[in-house]
Amino acid sequence: MSRESEWVEFVLRDDFPAEAAFREGSRANHVIVEWEVVGADDAPWHNSPFVIVIAPEAIDRYEKSDPPEQARIKGRIREMVKHRRDDYDPDGRVDVAEAFVVQIDEGDL
């Protein structure tokens, strides 16, 4: 597990289903969040890919900040991801689902 995936899980664990897994994507700063979804036929399957791309500088900024600033940064990231999840469909729209990407840069904080 990469530093980025561990940190994203730390910040967003409560915002995803309890069984969600946070794993490193094709790059260290790409975090894939997966969980089981029950389909119309009651068969479990994995959600359409939900990918968070986090700039390492955003994590550095968090780690160098005092506790009130850390709380603000965590809140801002949770707000950004929640807002983007409003447009997310875990069922996917096609047979081969495209990844749903949320990008977080230091400037977003």
Q: How far, in Å, CA of 67 to CA of 21, rounded?
A: 27
CA-wise closest residue to 59 among 104, 99, 17, 95:
104
Helix residue ranges per DSSP H, 23-95: 56-64, 67-85
CB-neighbour burial class of residue 60 (10 A; exposed 0-12, middle 13-18, buried 19+): exposed
How many residues would you count in the chain? 109
| pLDDT one-digit tens code per residue, 37-84 | 777 777 777 777 889 999 999 999 999 999 999 999 999 999 999 999
Taking the complete model, does pTM exceed 0.85, yes or no?
no
